Structure 1
């Protein structure tokens, strides 16, 4: 747990990141494993816009349940891609943001967006 003294919040990150031996040897498979569900990709996409509260993520990731969102956020936190900030308020305010490692996924998601736009424009017929 990293304490952000003077910033009014406590930031949590799981220090138990995956060991290299526990990850596949193929780099593409590593990427797929860490951000492999549609929900994780959409959560990362939305966090690329900036810090979000749980309710904001639940609204922006259409169709996700509270349980699935919670589980995916925990997995992204465990992988070191997302950090959680808890503000000492009543009720507690919790925000999610990308870590530096999570931010490094920006070009991957941007490439996915560009490919999706291209596919929609050229491959589908009305």
Structure 2
């Protein structure tokens, strides 16, 4: 079984306690799982690049929502959180460039990175603001 067979399952403990952000996170997971299904039988770098563009647009919207809340409620670690988003953005640019090589490993590495980054970010960096935003009345 390759990395592409991976399925991400949303669990209640992944919740960041903010309904809008949880919904966006769930939608990202659905999109990632859809990407894994698409690449189950074929490794098409052009298609993956097209899907990365869509995911990138979704990520931009999500990051804007999240960063807007952190700014509005003066979250103390906002800058570090934004740096994490910027690391993701830069990595996606690099991965898209590597996809031009039509290398199966580059495609699998891209899919693995996406799954690991999103789940690690949600369960780590995003969970850190949960109590703070909830204490500010954001649910």
Task: State the TM-score, normalized to the length of structure 1.
Answer: 0.29
Q: Going by fraction, where is strand more abundant, 1 or 2? A: 1
